[in-house]
Amino acid sequence: MTERLQTLSGLAPTAKLPAYDRDQLKSGILHLGPGAFFRAHFAPFTDAAIAVSGGDWGIEVASLRTADVADHLNEQNGLYTMLIRDTSGTVAQVIGPILRAHVATRDPAGLLDRLEDPAIRIVSLTVTEKAYGMDTATGGLDLNHADVAADLANRHAPRGVIGYLVDGLSRRRAKGIAPFTPLSCDNLPSNGAVLKRLVLDFAERVDPSLRQWIEANVPFPSTMVDRITPASTEATYQDAERLTGRQDLAAIETEPFTQWVIEDHFADGRPAWEKAGALMVTDVSAYEKMKLRMLNGAHSLLAYLGYIGGYEFIRDVMDDAGLAALAYRHMHAAARTLDAVPGIDLDDYASELIARFANKAIAHRTYQIAMDGTQKLPQRLLEPATEALAHGDKAETYAIAVAAWMRYAIGEHGNGERYELRDPRAGEIAALIADVPRTGLAISAALFTLPGLFPAALTGNRAWTQDVSDKLEILIQDDRLPLF
């Protein structure tokens, strides 16, 4: 049996190794949510920054839910392999800055102690949209969110992201320790501002003076993050083993492209991420909108159409010339809702996205992207659609995307086979459409009433809702994907 990846010695020469002395590295960052995306983006950027500029920016990670990744990382002394896949081949790079992993559900007090350690100067997050507990209609705290409700009732024994951050900051304040910088790396527009609002809302409810202290002392930089990262599969683990000579249960795979734009506003320093290629700016919003609307919006469009049309991976959808052309059309429609983005030509950006989606070496499941639609639609599709309509655009590709989501939300393939929606609001969706006839008109009318999801400017636009209903009717009749 092959040895496990645990040290950097004796690895196959095909593996690229961290270019610094890991034994000297001390913790500076606590990261919540060590999923594949974090391991393909934040951790490699930090690895490269430490290699160039040093600094005590080792990362401790904490899983708030499942233990597997944390356990595998601890078994491997924090080491794991990142595979970068392209049609020219696969490169293996061992990533070094993770020092320890915690599992919050196993030892919540231990995680609170880490949040209080003055060495931890940044608490970063990749926890997915649904973990924030945001009410999409108001942008404030969703008091019905399970973690938010539990943490408000029991604020010193948190289980959710906002509860942990607020309790950590509160402990620091009580002990006179400088605050850490919370750093959101999730696909939300103005993710730092969103996080700030939720943290302040929560703090206000538990202790208004804590709210004031946070407001006065804690920066919440926003970031735009980008790297396509399919979930790991057997092929990931096998290739990691082949290229490093070690078994690696925390291996991940990703594309060559990577981008990070960060607002340079930190309470107590940061790694030299700019040396690793990150762009440090004063305002990230133009980049975020571009990425959410052009990349993620088109991704969701392709994921829903592709999944219901029987395509397993985005690269397969891109092989369908009609769907690839539709994606391109949608990217251009999304671009028309954007202000100029410094240093970026939006036509070139769209062409680059098309090439990234088509990368034959990346097996990115349509079903993976289809997940959590209710959490993704607003920023990716519904906000730009609202703006497009207000500017006299017909927002047709948005209507196709929303119809495709609605077709997906029925939870049943054309042959009657059912699938799980994998959406925190799946129960509400199922209840809304349970007794509704399977017509475009009836299903769209029912789903338009899902509380808080669709802005009134969209549901009040008769021509647009009719367009959604017509397109949904076509998709219900025939999921072989007629060319729109």
Length in residues, the chain: 484
Per rule CB under 6 A, count of chain residues that contact ligand CS2: 9
Give the integer Cα–Cα distance in Å for 65 and 79. Answer: 21
Q: What is 458-471 written as a DSSP string?
A: HHT-HHHHHHHHHH
Least distance from ligand CS2 to the Cβ atom of residue 226, Å: 4
Which residue lies nearer to ligand CS2 by CB, 81 or 296?
296
Which residue lies nearer to ligand CS2 by CB, 226 or 263?
226
Please identify, among the stretches 178-186, 220-228, 238-246, 392-400, the one whose residues bind ligand CS2 according to the rule CB under 6 A: 220-228
Please identify, among the stretches 50-58, 68-76, 222-230, 384-392, the one whose residues bind ligand CS2 according to the rule CB under 6 A: 222-230
Report CA-CA distances (Å) from 314 to 299, 334, 369.
Answer: 8, 19, 9
Helix intervals (H) in 137-248: 146-153, 161-175, 191-206, 208-217, 234-244
Which residue lies nearer to ligand CS2 by CB, 187 or 244?
187
Least distance from ligand CS2 to the Cβ atom of residue 300, Å: 6
Q: Which of residues 326-355 bind ligand CS2 (CB under 6 A)?
A: none
Report CA-CA distances (Å) from 206 to 155, 327, 446.
Answer: 8, 46, 38
Q: Which of residues 374-393 bind ligand CS2 (CB under 6 A)?
A: 376
Residue 227 in the binding site for ligand CS2 (CB under 6 A): yes
Nearest to 252 by CA among 357, 364, 352, 101: 364
Applying CB under 6 A, among 40, 92, 228, 401 the residue interacting with ligand CS2 is 228
Q: What is 12-35 written as a DSSP string?
A: -TTEE--SS-GGG--EEEEEE---
CB of 49 within 8 A of CB of 271?
yes
| Residue 248 CA to its chain's centroid (Å) | 24
Least distance from ligand CS2 to the Cβ atom of residue 385, Å: 17
Q: Which of residues 80-99 bind ligand CS2 (CB under 6 A)?
A: none
Least distance from ligand CS2 to the Cβ atom of residue 162, Å: 22
* CB contact set of 427 (below 8 Å; sequence gap of 6+): none
Least distance from ligand CS2 to the Cβ atom of residue 378, Å: 13
Applying CB under 6 A, among 369, 429, 446, 468 the residue interacting with ligand CS2 is 369
What count of Cα atoms within 13 Å lies in the side-chain half-sphere of residue 127? Answer: 27
Q: Which of residues 281-300 bind ligand CS2 (CB under 6 A)?
A: 296, 299
Report CA-CA distances (Å) from 72 to 59, 66, 103, 127, 419.
Answer: 15, 12, 12, 19, 30
Give the integer Cα–Cα distance in Å for 123 and 57. Answer: 11
Residue 368 in the binding site for ligand CS2 (CB under 6 A): yes
Least distance from ligand CS2 to the Cβ atom of residue 436, Å: 27
Q: Which of residues 150-189 bind ligand CS2 (CB under 6 A)?
A: 187
Which residue lies nearer to ligand CS2 by CB, 204 or 372?
372
Least distance from ligand CS2 to the Cβ atom of residue 225, Å: 6
Please identify, among the stretches 226-234, 236-244, 317-325, 413-421, the one whose residues bind ligand CS2 according to the rule CB under 6 A: 226-234
Please identify, among the stretches 145-153, 196-204, 224-232, 336-344, the one whose residues bind ligand CS2 according to the rule CB under 6 A: 224-232
Which residue lies nearer to ligand CS2 by CB, 53 or 259?
259
Least distance from ligand CS2 to the Cβ atom of residue 376, Å: 6
Measured distance between the N- and C-terminal CA atoms of the chain, rounded to whole angstroms:
53
What count of Cα atoms within 13 Å lies in the side-chain half-sphere of residue 222? Answer: 20
Applying CB under 6 A, among 47, 167, 201, 226 the residue interacting with ligand CS2 is 226
Which residue's entry shows tokens 């009580």?
174
Give the integer Cα–Cα distance in Å for 83 and 92. Answer: 5
Where does this chain bind ligand CS2 (CB under 6 A)?
Answer: 187, 226-228, 296, 299, 368-369, 376
